[in-house]
Structure 1
Amino acid sequence: MSMKTYLLECAWYCALALGAAPAWAAGAPDAPPGAVAAARLRPAVTAQHAAQAVMLGAATAGTRIVAVGERGIILLSDDQGKNWRQAAVPVSVTLTAVRFADAQHGVAVGHAGVALTSADGGAHWEATLDGQRIAALALAAAKARDNDAAIREAERLVADGADKPLLDVCLLGGGRMLAVGAYGLAFGSDDGGRTWTSWMDRIDNPKGLHLNTVRRGGDAVLIGGERGLALLSTDGGRTFRRLELPYRGSFFTAELPAANDHELVLAGLRGNAWRSTDGGRSWQQLASPMPVSITASAIRADGSLLFANQAGLLLTVQGQGLAPSPAAPLPPLNGVLDLRNGQLLALTMQGIMPVAAPFPGAKP
């Protein structure tokens, strides 16, 4: 299970225990199917304190910052995070990740299999994919391959409805992109997200394990998932091979610091962080100061790695281990964005928070 999904499920169950679920929980994996369908079709409601919502992902679109989170909230800032305004969004499901190819063209993904595209710097969004379409595409692809196991799995997706979350998306260049998610969902686009096709046949994942994170560096594409699943492509996502790691827990984030297929980093459950400098043939563990799940990461302007964990701490690489930064602890972290000006933006369970970064990065 993805850490993003886990955190949202925890809030969902806590709300049920109290007798009322928050509106954003309609996008959670175990929300009633009717609630998921309604949230997929209902525009995001303008929130008075949207910058304090649960936020899960952020990206830069030129000089603009675009952040996504619960209830379909997408926020825009043109002053480095000092002020935020809400974008027009056609769905109210939780959004998990956002990427921009340039100052105008971006894609966001989220629960109910939703993918959104923008051509105006995030001000407006169009839905181009959802869970029902995902199920239909998966079934058509499985039938085309005449693969009985894949057909049965796709038929289950159809029967379940539009409740499977996309958890991350990666831009591959030239309008190509890859979105991954729960139960092995993997869908690619060659036209900037306007149309999508199933890439599930490219991935060795017969048990349908969750694909939690995807990153690109040059022609290399790295996917991390549950139960130690890791996959690497060296041809821009056209083919993938499994990587063998000495760890069988879930990965929630990945990086390719050198922008190639030689240096790979995966991190996740209970503070586990692993690094390979030989394309995944061997792995070394980065010692963690605490057994707390690492939920996000970023490559800073100086090329150094930064990790964020569920305890609200930012971690830098020091030698063969991770060390907490001097920054004060924050609420549980879902993401972190380096603003390339010495400042960071933390995406937390309590909203968006700017973080001064007086500590130098340490290259791994």
Structure 2
Amino acid sequence: MRTLAAVVCSLLVVLCVGTVEAGSPTVPVTVAMQKSGSEATLLGMFFHDHQLGWAVGSGGTILKTTDGGHKWKKVSSGTSSLLTAVYFRDAKRGWVVGANGTVRTSKDGGETWSVVVVSTQAPLYGIAFASPTKGWMVGGNGTILQTTDGGENWIDQASGTSAALYAIALTNELQGTAVGALGTILTTADGGKNWTTQVSQSSATFFDVAFADDTNGWAVGNAGALFQTIDGGTHWVDRTLPCGRTCNKLTDLIRVRFTDPQQGWIVGERGQILRTSDAGFNWVEETSPVKRSLMALSFPRATAGWAAGEGGTIISISAAGTK
């Protein structure tokens, strides 16, 4: 079983427990393979809209599409380091992060990339922006870096932990949540001046976190870990699902995204795809065309998403029945 943490290392519901069930014919979902032209393990993905997107991964791989994934092309990153995450602020300006403190930035939509110097050699796993000027990166050894000038400069923030931080979600310029190893959940309410450790009552490694709005959020992790907050990240409740078509308790859940307060998606090991259309009360297990682990997920709009993972795998997800 290949977890996100294992891959990285080797290469360098509201009131009760929800249910998981087989796909529902009332909400048509189409999942299709796309040809990436790469065998790299893809760990990060970001779509600016339903046409323009990027995927990053092992060996410094950066892939770009301008037609919704019908064609992907490889662009030079200028590094052979493992790249773990990608974020674009708009159609032109973006960043990738990865092993050994690797940061690259692009000002031309990902056609060319230049070095960004940061004050860490720790692996970086996640990046997000709350506004055009304010953004954060997270990584190993509790690393948190912040920019207040649109990504030109990045400064350290004290996280109060040495645990690896794998993802960060921001609801505005002041409020953010970072998650990571050993059940670590950190929140800030003052733009990162102070980070507070929240009690998850779990030793699971959380790989990702996403918010549907300012208060409702979800974290996913190894061994099927699925946790929910309804108060902006202060308190978390275990919503780990029972066994469905495959046993979720034996399957790592690696990425989560919500397109609105009702519609959410999770991908994970062995090609697993889960969907909710009722704010996480129930989760539907969709039929997946792949058995390789899916480690990246992006939904630029409610009806169109993409996932990527091992062996250059990229799939498109079309949910015609969603809002």
1:204 maps to which residue?
Answer: 160
Corresponding position: 1:107 with 2:58: no
Q: Does the residue aligned with 2:183 lie in a helix, a strand or coil?
A: coil
Match status 1:276 vs 2:229? yes
Mapping of 1:310-321 within 5 angstroms? 310-317=269-276, 320-321=281-282
Q: Which residue of 2 aligns with 1:56?
A: 43
The answer (yes or no) to whether the contact 1:80–1:339 under 8 Å persists in 2 is no
User: Which structure is larger by alpha-carbon Rg, 1 or 2?
Assistant: 1
User: Which of 113, 117, 139 is the equivalent residue of 1:125?
Assistant: 113
Partner of 2:15: none
Q: Does 1:169 align with 2:114?
A: no
Aligned 8 A contact 2:208 2:255 in 1: yes
Preserved contact between residue 46 and residue 297 of structure 2 (Cα < 8 Å): no
SS in 1 for 2:141: helix
Counterpart selection for 1:220 from 154, 159, 175 = 175
- Match for 1:82 among 58, 70, 75? 70
Alpha-carbon distance between aligned partners in 2 of 1:358 and 1:272, rounded to the nearest angstrom: 25
Offset at 1:326? 3.3
Q: Which amino acid is 2:216 matched to?
A: E
Structural RMSD (CA)? 2.5
Q: How does 1:215-364 map to 2 (within 5 A)?
A: 215-218=169-172, 219-258=174-213, 260=214, 262-288=215-241, 289=243, 290-291=248-249, 292-300=251-259, 304-317=263-276, 320-340=281-301, 342-358=303-319, 360=321
Identical amino acids, percent of aligned pairs: 21
Distance across 1 between alignment mates of 2:178 and 2:321? 28
Give the partner amino acid of 1:274. F
Q: Which residue of 2 aligns with 1:69?
A: 57
| Structure with bigger RCO (C-alpha 8 Å, 6+ apart) | 2
Could you list the structure 1 runs, at least 4 aligned residues long, displaced by more than 6 angstroms after superposition.
Answer: none
CA contact (8 A) 1:184 1:210 kept: yes
| Equivalenced residues, count | 290
Classify 1:301/1:230 alpha carbon distance in 2 versus 1 (closer, same or farther; 3 Å).
Answer: closer
Contact 2:184 2:198 in 1 (8 A): yes
1:341 Cα deviation (Å)?
Answer: 6.9
Unaligned runs of 5+ in 1: 13-24, 29-48, 135-161
Code of the aligned partner of 1:264: G
Contact 1:66 1:75 (8 Å CA) reproduced:
yes
- Tell me, yes or no, if the aligned pair for 2:97 and 2:124 is still in contact at 8 Å: yes
CA distance in 1 between counterparts of 2:235 and 2:148 reads: 33
- Which segment drifts farther, 282-291 or 184-193? 282-291
Q: 1:326 and 1:361, CA in 2 relative to 1: closer, same or farther beyond 3 A?
A: farther
Contact 2:187/2:234, CA 8 A, preserved across alignment: no
Q: Which has more helix, going by share of residues?
A: 1
Contact 1:97/1:109 (8 A) holds in 2: yes
Question: 1:122 and 1:241 mapped to 2: Cα distance?
Answer: 35
**Letter aligned with residue 102 of structure 2:** V
Q: Which runs of 5+ in 2 are unaligned?
A: 13-35
